[in-house]
Structure 1
Amino acid sequence: MLQSLLIGDRLRLNALRDADIPLITAWYQDQNFLRNLDAIPVGLRSESSVREMIEGLMKRPTRDYGFAIRKKDTDELVGLTILDGILWNNGTCHVSIEIGEPSHRSRGYGREAMELVLDFAFQELNLHAVSLTVFSYNEPAIRLYEKLGFTKEGVRREYLHRDGKRHDLYLYGMLRREWEAR
């Protein structure tokens, strides 16, 4: 039987909507959320800058795919996942995931959403390799990526300076054959 594309047991991935922008803007006001996303200094985003970010992502459908992560039963927005920087000639891309509300974290949503987006990357887009980066202090994300089968491919030592300390940036990757073998 054909598996439903982008639909899991509890979640589904679909397009972002204008109505999502206020909630995403609220996530971008949370410094703990932001500190796991980017190496740049925490900068709170306005609603117009979030709208611009989302519109920019949706304007590059041959190089980037952005999805809303929603609960199947309520349609509630849980987070975002993005496949970006696709190099079609090499069959490679980068993946990122954001679970917005603290109450939605550590509930298995990240794992299910990553499984869905990786299925999409390897099965629908026919990509060969997916990579990601994660800061060394983001232990829950590291555990998730390793459970999913990502391999630690490298370290950018002392890449980030936060709160008076240096932190490494880990590089992880997964090949199509590794996804298929799990």
Structure 2
Amino acid sequence: MLAKTSLSGSRVRLTSWMPQDLPALAHWYQQSDFLRLLDAQPAYPYSEAFLGQWLEERQKSNHAFIFAVRAVSSNEPAVTAPNDMLLGYVELDGILWNHQVSWISIAIGEEHWGHGYGFEAMQLALTFAFEELNLHRIQLTVFSYNDRAIALYEKLGFQREGVYREFIHRSGDRHDMYLYGLLRPEWKDKFG
């Protein structure tokens, strides 16, 4: 029997991008707090046109998969976004097919933090990576000041493998950047 790889969970589903998603994405890319957690680049706002081109290039790549994270209605009205609302995105990129290795990143809009959407989206993306793409290792980097993301990655089973000491300069201070990795057997032991 074939393993079932689903892009849908109880609270979120991973989908393709639609043109009507660009305003929400552009809104997030106007917020410096969002950008300072996501990227080492300067927290510079990006336009809808630029982000549209970026998404188009990503979708054409055979070394990247980028998914929109959308809400699925549930019976928890206090924490439920409207059905199909764009909550963020998750991306597998820089895939080295010959080594079965990929980077992963996730971004959830600030207004959707704290509801468990990121955890379920990452579980779905990791299932896709390990089961559908047959990858062996998934890795990521995270800034030492991003406590929420660190807690999420460790809950998912990622292991801290290294530290880029004083890698990033933000608000007058130097911060480390951590390297995390997750191997398919570790993931299977935890969630398989």
State the TM-score, normalized to the length of structure 1.
Answer: 0.96
Unaligned runs of 5+ in 2: 74-82
Q: Give the CA deviation at 1:3.
A: 4.2
Query: What's the counterpart of residue 46 of structure 1?
Result: 47
The equivalent position to 1:82 in structure 2, one of 84, 88, 91, is 91
Instruction: Classify the secondary structure of the residue corresponding to 2:164.
Output: strand
Query: What's the counterpart of residue 120 of structure 1?
Result: 128
Q: Following the alignment from structure 1 to structure 2, what is the Cα–Cα distance between the partners of residues 25 and 41?
A: 16
Aligned AA (2:37): N
Aligned alpha-carbon RMSD (Å): 1.1
Q: Give the CA deviation at 1:108.
A: 0.4
Instruction: Classify the secondary structure of the residue corresponding to 1:41.
Output: coil
Q: Give the CA deviation at 1:56.
A: 0.9
Query: What's the counterpart of residue 8 of structure 2?
Result: 7
Query: What's the counterpart of residue 23 of structure 1?
Result: 24
Q: Which runs of 4+ in 1 moved over 3 A?
A: 1-4
Q: Following the alignment from structure 2 to structure 1, what is the Cα–Cα distance between the partners of residues 22 and 134?
A: 31
Unaligned runs of 5+ in 1: none
Q: How does 1:128-167 map to 2 (within 5 A)?
A: 128-167=136-175
Q: Give the CA deviation at 1:4.
A: 5.5
Query: What's the counterpart of residue 179 of structure 2?
Result: 171
Aligned AA (1:174): L
Aligned AA (1:41): P
Query: Does the 8 Å CA contact 2:58/2:64 hold for their aligned counterparts?
Result: yes
Instruction: Classify the secondary structure of the residue corresponding to 1:36.
Output: helix
Q: Following the alignment from structure 1 to structure 2, what is the Cα–Cα distance between the partners of residues 136 and 104?
A: 22
Q: Following the alignment from structure 1 to structure 2, what is the Cα–Cα distance between the partners of residues 144 and 75?
A: 23
